[in-house]
């Protein structure tokens, strides 16, 4: 044997005695978050009808995405400067209180308030979870960890929409949120225990800074965009123009420098996350509403279509986790974005009468495969490119960008549906297709990256 050479080092294990509670807690939390996500898309048409507030449909869904901006920004700065324990506890309290309000909501106003609180708490904990993984999971095992988190959507994606639909039909939609509340409590107890035992550290510097003000302004602008879309012509035009202007100004300050220009490196990856996340969210949100309101599907039946389509997400995550190829190859993201575009295109063809409704499930499977591949790759690459002191900020930027993209697109498409003009659902899916094609165009410009690509914002 040649001197200096030996057997290859064994692969770093993800499941060890020390890491098992972290993995269980993270997987559990993601599983119940996923269940709630799929449950909302299936149950929300019934919630809106039961609370006599169909015009609130888009805002009720986008509320968590909107206030998540504040939570994600606060969570990243808080975890970087003071350690993950306190933000994890605060985020857990806000998230659980929000879910509890959804369970007992007597009116849509209370339901939306619960969704707003849920967004703040979930935004904090989603970023803190990334920081916990970065600190407690070996770098070589992180791609598998992120693939597992994405795969944690498997069971909810298969049974969640159908189960929630059956619960809505046979019991009540409140039971769906009660299940999420109970499961999230147990999962968060695991995570808090891991971080508390490991010691969170005591950093220096203020937690609140100008980014918090900009995040708050962005959330207000997004809410203004949603509310403006429900108004008559003069208020609609003025409110939309002001909201868009404020939103653009805040995006420049919240995201890494050059994100809106698709600057190479972390900024371009952040922009891609926004475009992909927005196109998938809008596709999934309106499909159950179209099936229930326009085609007369029962909640369980519309949930079954979503469930079959969501299988693709877990399949894509499994493929990404099993792949031995370089996880940072740009051509993988190009293929993933092409698959994602199948979702809105297929939905548009169904709405236009060119495909039968069940065909939407197949196109959503392809969309899910693309997202299952893209999400862990984007997360892992951004963390690899980030210095330790920037991991929280850049993880926050990924999710802030997705929130901005998703909520903005939902506000615009919600206004189209409320106005009842421009072709309704067909125009909605035409707009979503444009966003998905823009994501595909961004991936074409990606190049292999090396070293720190300056993720400062």
Give residue-wise pLDDT tens across range 235-251.
777 888 888 889 888 88
pLDDT at res. 431: 93
Distance of CA 285 to the CA centre of its chain: 12
- The rounded mean pLDDT for the chain is 81
Which whole number is the average pLDDT over 33-41?
78
- Which band of pLDDT confidence, cut at 50, 70 and 90, is reported for residue 209? low
Least reliable range by pLDDT among 207-221, 246-260, 354-368: 207-221
Instruction: Look at residue 2 in the predicted model and tell me its pLDDT.
Output: 46
More confident call, 110 vs 56 = 110
- CA-wise closest residue to 29 among 191, 198, 193: 191
Per-residue pLDDT reduced to its tens digit, 281-326: 899 888 888 888 888 888 888 877 777 767 787 788 777 766 655 5
Higher pLDDT, 368 or 229: 368
Q: What is the CATH number of domain 20-198+208-444?
A: 1.20.1250.20
**pLDDT band for position 60 (50/70/90)?**
confident
List, as own/partner pairs, every contact residues 229-236 make where C-beta atoms lie below 8 angstroms and the sequence separation is at least 24, other chains included. Answer: 229/58, 229/411, 229/412, 229/414, 229/415, 229/418, 229/419, 230/55, 230/414, 230/415, 230/418, 236/415
Domain ranges of the chain: 20-198+208-444
Least confidently predicted of 7-21, 27-41, 432-446: 7-21
Give mean pLDDT, residues 426-439: 94
Among candidate residues 338, 360, 364, the one with its CA nearest the CA of residue 272: 338
């Amino acid at each position: 044997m040649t001197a200096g050479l030996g057997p290859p080092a064994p692969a770093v294990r993800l499941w060890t005695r020390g890491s098992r509670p972290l993995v269980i807690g993270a997987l559990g939390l993601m599983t119940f978050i996923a269940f709630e996500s799929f449950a909302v898309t299936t149950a929300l048409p019934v919630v809106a009808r039961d609370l006599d507030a169909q015009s609130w449909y888009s805002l009720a869904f986008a509320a968590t995405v909107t206030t998540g901006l504040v939570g994600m920004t606060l969570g990243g700065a808080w975890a970087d400067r003071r350690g993950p324990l306190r933000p994890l506890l605060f985020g857990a309290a806000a998230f659980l209180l929000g879910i509890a309000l959804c369970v007992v909501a007597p009116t849509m106003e209370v339901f939306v308030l619960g969704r707003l609180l849920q967004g703040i708490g979930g935004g904090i904990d989603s970023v803190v979870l990334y920081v916990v993984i970065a600190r407690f999971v070996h770098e070589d095992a992180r791609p598998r960890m992120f693939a597992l988190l994405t795969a944690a959507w498997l069971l909810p994606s298969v049974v969640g929409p159908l189960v929630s639909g059956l619960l809505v039909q046979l019991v009540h939609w409140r039971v769906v949120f009660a299940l999420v509340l109970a499961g999230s409590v147990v999962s968060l107890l695991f995570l808090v225990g891991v971080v508390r035992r490991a010691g969170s550290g005591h950093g220096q510097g203020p937690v609140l800074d100008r980014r918090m003000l900009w995040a708050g302004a962005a959330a207000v602008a997004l809410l203004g965009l949603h509310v403006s879309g429900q108004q008559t012509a003069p208020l609609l035009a003025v409110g939309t123009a002001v909201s868009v202007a404020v939103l653009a100004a805040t995006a420049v300050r919240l995201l890494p420098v050059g994100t809106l220009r698709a600057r190479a490196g972390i900024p371009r990856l952040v922009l891609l996350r926004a475009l992909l996340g927005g196109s998938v969210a809008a596709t999934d949100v309106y499909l159950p509403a179209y099936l229930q309101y326009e085609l007369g599907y029962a909640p369980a039946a519309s949930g079954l279509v979503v469930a079959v389509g969501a299988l693709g997400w877990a399949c894509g995550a499994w493929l990404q986790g099993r792949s031995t190829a370089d996880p940072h190859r740009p051509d993988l993201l190009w293929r993933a974005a092409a698959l994602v575009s199948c979702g809105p295109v297929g939905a548009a063809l169904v709405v236009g009468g060119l495909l039968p409704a069940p065909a939407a499930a197949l196109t959503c499977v392809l969309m899910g495969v693309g997202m299952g591949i893209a999400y862990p790759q984007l997360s892992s690459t951004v963390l690899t490119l980030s210095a330790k002191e920037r991991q929280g900020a850049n993880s926050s930027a990924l999710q802030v960008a997705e929130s901005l993209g998703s909520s903005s697109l939902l506000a615009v498409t919600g206004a189209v549906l409320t106005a009842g003009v421009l072709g309704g659902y067909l125009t909605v899916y035409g707009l979503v297709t444009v966003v998905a094609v823009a994501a595909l165009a961004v991936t074409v410009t990606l190049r292999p990256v090396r070293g720190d690509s300056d993720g400062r914002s």
